[in-house]
Amino acid sequence: EIVLTQSPGTLSLSPGERATLSCRASQSVSSSYLAWYQQKPGQAPRLLIYGASSRATGIPDRFSGSGSGTDFTLTISRLEPEDFAVYYCQQYGSSPVTFGGGTKVEIK
């Protein structure tokens, strides 16, 4: 199975700053089938990005995804107060579907 490693584990930033989250796969992710989710405490995950770079319905354009092969990045251009949360990457190009361990974006 494809193992996804997210870094850093925790990112401490201030509102208005840029956040860059990394997701590295143990082998190439087929057809860039890589997604990103946001999860806030007590809530279900919310799909942000799929196909490595396509924003899901209703997701603000401050969220962007990039990458291919084994290296992927989620960028939040300017952090809003509601963006402080845990972010997970997920690959769905190979069975089984796998998730990364998550990156927590916290207020500095």
Partner 1 sequence: EVQLVESGGGVVQPGGSLRLSCAASGFTFDDYAMHWVRQAPGKGLEWVSLISGDGGSTYYADSVKGRFTISRDNSKNSLYLQMNSLRTEDTALYYCAKDISSVGLPDYWGQGTLVTVSS
Question: Binding mask 8-37 vs partner 1 (x if CB under 8 A, - otherwise)?
Answer: -------------------------x-x-x
State yes or no: residue 45 binds partner 1 (CB under 8 A).
yes
Instruction: Single out the residue of 44, 58, 61, 81 in contact with partner 1 (rule: CB under 8 A).
Output: 44
User: To which H or E segment does residue 25 belong?
Assistant: strand 19-25
Tell me the HSE value of 73 on the side-chain side, using a 13 A CA sphere: 8
Among 36, 50, 63, 84, binds partner 1 (CB under 8 A): 50
3-state secondary structure (DSSP) of residue 2: coil
Residue 65 vs 100, nearer CB to partner 1:
100
Q: For residues 13 and 103, what is the distance between their CA atoms, to the nearest angstrom?
A: 13
SS3 42: coil
Q: What is the C-alpha R_g of the chain?
A: 13
Please state the closest distance from residue 74 (CB atom) to partner 1, in A.
15
Least gap, CB of 50 to partner 1 (angstroms): 6
What whole-number distance in Å separates Cα of residue 60 and Cα of residue 28?
28
| Contacts with partner 1, residue ranges (CB under 8 A) | 33, 35, 37, 39, 43-47, 50, 56, 88, 90, 92-93, 95-102
